């Protein structure tokens, strides 16, 4: 079986570890002075070297020919560990062994047993935060009074889930994301070792796509090398990674800065039609906006990775945008990027971002379109222009008139949500927030579910011509007032009788009251 690139070129000495200088410096100093702790906690994102450094520590403390801190990789102990047959190194995946029984039956008895050949018996517990509370308690007893021949190295991506009692008994090291330049240098050495050549910008693109994870970068590099070509090119990377469309991102930024809602939404649809993954495009948009923001505040090399034509476009956008505008663009996209993970319609969060960023300021075109759709009186037409906040508050009568259009728009996306909205009574728009009332708490909770809420907010924003958010409350009179509700189907029944019937069949009483 072929060995993957990141396994084949896994660092065998501390000096080969990419980045993490602060970790290497401290650990090598401890090894050289023979002052090794009994327990370490390695914290950091995935793919940044935690397990690699843990294995180097295991080799170093048991190496019989070590000079300084570096294992020689030739003695019997190092060879056994490199080949995965050492009895003095136990690696445990806590994600697969979360229960206390595994700690009691395997880890604790093994820890009490002397090493087979080396000085230390080393336990590497990966994703330690996955252990159960009982398992942590059992492990804590060993960490409180560890045998002299035992070394624990715990690794986690979520340190907040590790009990403080465990953390306090470990020497903690925080691993950082690997810098793009460091990943490029590392991959260049691999490409040279493989006897290959590489086109300009290829390794940098792979590094940027890895978001600080060297393991991910090396994995992608291995896939590109696996295509069998002697020169690595952008075209080959396109077969492995989703294509980056910087031009489309710059176009999106231009639409947002120019307040061109329709152009922005058409761009999103074009990307969908071209098969561009929305999650990838939104992440690329965030990355480029970050680069633009850094360039605006004076970090001159933040857009140097762009092609010459793209750099010229970026400079034009920078000349038009303020720091505050770029900051807002970035904040909105970051928020909507999180929504994308739960969206039932892949492009919906990006569409909402476009509407929010382009329509919230109510430019002159939007006001003109609104006046055509809703003719105003002579007094209104001659009144002085109001701020967007005042305009939003003034439209509380318009939302009732527009409600059928909102229901129609929602029905095109999700008929079930539209049926749910028919039980609502719209109360108005104030400060960009639409207040809906429901007769029952159950309906309110359904509307406020993230997926349903996103669908409703998208339809509302499109109908009223401004970015809005949805809020909901419970009002026992809402059902009879709802413009989309069916006529009251309970003739002859008082609210008290109806509530009693609901309770009898396991339902909820009117309003906020709970059934006894």
* pLDDT (0 to 100) of residue 487: 41
Same domain? For 69 and 127 the reply is yes
* pLDDT (0 to 100) of residue 243: 65
Same domain? For 215 and 232 the reply is yes
Same domain? For 166 and 197 the reply is no
pTM: 0.59
Nearest alpha-carbon partner for 440 in 425, 459, 456: 425
Same domain? For 421 and 454 the reply is yes
Is residue 501 a part of any domain in this protein?
A: no
CATH assignment of the domain containing 81 = 3.40.50.300
- Going through 406-495 in order, the beta strands assigned E by DSSP cover 425-430, 433-438, 469-474
Same domain? For 217 and 334 the reply is no
Answer yes or no: are the C-beta atoms of 220 and 209 closer than 8 Å: yes
Considering its fold, how many domains does the chain have in total? 4
Same domain? For 314 and 354 the reply is yes
Q: What is the largest CA-CA distance in the chain?
A: 95
Is residue 504 a part of any domain in this protein?
A: no
* pLDDT (0 to 100) of residue 489: 40
Same domain? For 344 and 270 the reply is yes
| Rounded Cα–Cα distance for residues 153 and 462 (Å) | 54
Same domain? For 49 and 150 the reply is yes
Radius of gyration of the CA atoms of the chain, in A:
30
Is residue 371 a part of any domain in this protein?
A: no
Residue ranges of the alpha helices (H) in 210-245?
A: 214-225, 234-240
Where does a domain end: 174, 194, 216? 174
CATH assignment of the domain containing 301 = 1.20.272.10
Same domain? For 149 and 234 the reply is no
Is residue 288 a part of any domain in this protein?
A: yes
Where does a domain end: 146, 174, 202? 174
Is residue 125 a part of any domain in this protein?
A: yes
* pLDDT (0 to 100) of residue 479: 47
Same domain? For 83 and 126 the reply is yes
Is residue 115 a part of any domain in this protein?
A: yes
Q: Helix, strand, coil proportions of the chain in percent (round to 5)? A: 55, 10, 35
* pLDDT (0 to 100) of residue 392: 39
Answer yes or no: are the C-beta atoms of 122 and 60 closer than 8 Å: no
CATH assignment of the domain containing 422 = 3.30.300.180
| Rounded Cα–Cα distance for residues 178 and 19 (Å) | 6
Same domain? For 161 and 129 the reply is yes
| Rounded Cα–Cα distance for residues 498 and 509 (Å) | 8
SS3 category, 64: coil
Where does a domain end: 192, 211, 240? 240
- Residue-wise pLDDT tens for the chain (516 aa)? 456 788 888 999 999 999 899 999 999 999 999 899 999 999 999 999 999 999 999 999 999 998 889 999 999 999 999 998 999 999 988 877 767 777 887 788 888 888 888 899 999 999 999 888 888 988 898 898 888 999 999 999 999 999 999 999 999 999 999 998 999 999 999 999 999 999 888 898 898 888 889 999 999 999 999 888 889 988 888 788 766 678 899 999 999 998 888 899 999 998 888 888 888 888 889 988 998 999 988 887 788 777 778 888 899 999 988 998 899 899 888 888 877 767 778 888 889 889 888 874 443 333 334 444 444 433 333 333 334 444 434 344 767 888 888 898 888 888 888 888 888 888 888 777 888 888 888 788 888 887 888 888 888 888 887 778 888 888 766 544 555 544 444 434 344 444 544 454 445 444 444 433
Same domain? For 155 and 198 the reply is no
Residue range of the domain that includes 200: 180-240
Is residue 514 a part of any domain in this protein?
A: no
* pLDDT (0 to 100) of residue 95: 78
Is residue 516 a part of any domain in this protein?
A: no
């Amino acid at each position: 079986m072929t060995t993957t690139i990141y396994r084949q070129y896994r660092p065998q000495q501390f000096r080969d570890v990419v980045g993490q200088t602060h970790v290497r410096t401290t650990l090598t100093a401890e090894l050289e002075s023979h002052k090794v702790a009994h327990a370490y906690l390695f914290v950091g994102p995935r793919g940044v070297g935690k397990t690699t450094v843990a294995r180097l520590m295991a080799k170093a403390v048991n190496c019989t020919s070590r000079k300084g801190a570096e294992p020689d990789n030739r003695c019997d102990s190092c060879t056994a560990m490199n080949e995965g047959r050492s009895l003095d190194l136990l690696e445990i995946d806590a994600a697969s062994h979360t229960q206390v029984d595994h700690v009691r039956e395997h880890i604790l008895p093994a820890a009490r047993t002397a090493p087979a050949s080396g000085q230390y018996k080393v336990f590497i517990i990966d994703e330690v935060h996955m252990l159960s509370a009982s398992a942590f308690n059992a492990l804590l007893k060993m960490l409180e009074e560890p045998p002299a021949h035992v070394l624990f190295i715990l690794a986690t991506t979520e340190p907040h889930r590790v009990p403080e009692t465990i953390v306090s008994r470990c020497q903690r090291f925080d691993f950082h994301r690997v810098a793009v330049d460091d990943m490029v240098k590392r991959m260049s050495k691999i490409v040279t070792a493989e006897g290959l050549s590489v086109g300009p910008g290829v390794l940098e693109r792979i590094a940027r796509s890895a978001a600080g994870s060297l393991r991910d970068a090396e994995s992608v590099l291995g896939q590109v090398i696996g295509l069998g070509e002697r020169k690595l090119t952008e075209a080959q990377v396109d077969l492995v990674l989703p294509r980056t469309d910087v031009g489309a991102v710059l176009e999106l930024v231009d639409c947002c800065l120019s307040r061109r809602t329709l152009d922005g939404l058409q761009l999103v649809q074009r990307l969908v039609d071209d098969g561009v993954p929305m999650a990838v495009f939104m992440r690329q948009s965030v990355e480029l906006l970050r680069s633009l923001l850094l360039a605006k505040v004076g970090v001159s090399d933040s857009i140097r990775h762009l092609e010459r034509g793209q750099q010229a476009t970026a400079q034009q956008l920078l000349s038009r945008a303020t720091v505050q505008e770029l900051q807002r663009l970035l904040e909105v996209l970051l928020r909507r990027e999180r929504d994308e993970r739960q969206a039932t319609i892949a492009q919906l969060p990006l569409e909402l971002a476009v509407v929010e960023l382009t329509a919230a300021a109510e430019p002159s075109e939007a006001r003109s379109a609104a006046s055509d759709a809703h003719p105003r009186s002579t007094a209104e037409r001659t009144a002085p222009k109001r701020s967007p906040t005042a305009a939003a508050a003034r439209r509380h009568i318009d939302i009732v008139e527009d409600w059928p259009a909102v229901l129609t728009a929602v029905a095109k996306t999700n008929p079930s949500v539209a049926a749910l909205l028919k039980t609502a009574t719209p109360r108005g728009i104030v400060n960009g927030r639409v207040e809906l009332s429901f007769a029952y708490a159950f309906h309110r909770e359904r509307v406020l579910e993230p997926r349903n809420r996103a669908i409703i907010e998208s339809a509302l924003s499109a109908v009223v011509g401004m970015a809005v958010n949805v809020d909901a409350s419970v009002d026992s009179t809402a059902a009879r007032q709802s413009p989309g509700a069916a006529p009251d189907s309970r003739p002859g029944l008082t609210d008290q009788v109806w509530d009693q019937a609901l309770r009898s069949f396991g339902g909820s009483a009117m309003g906020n009251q709970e059934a006894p």
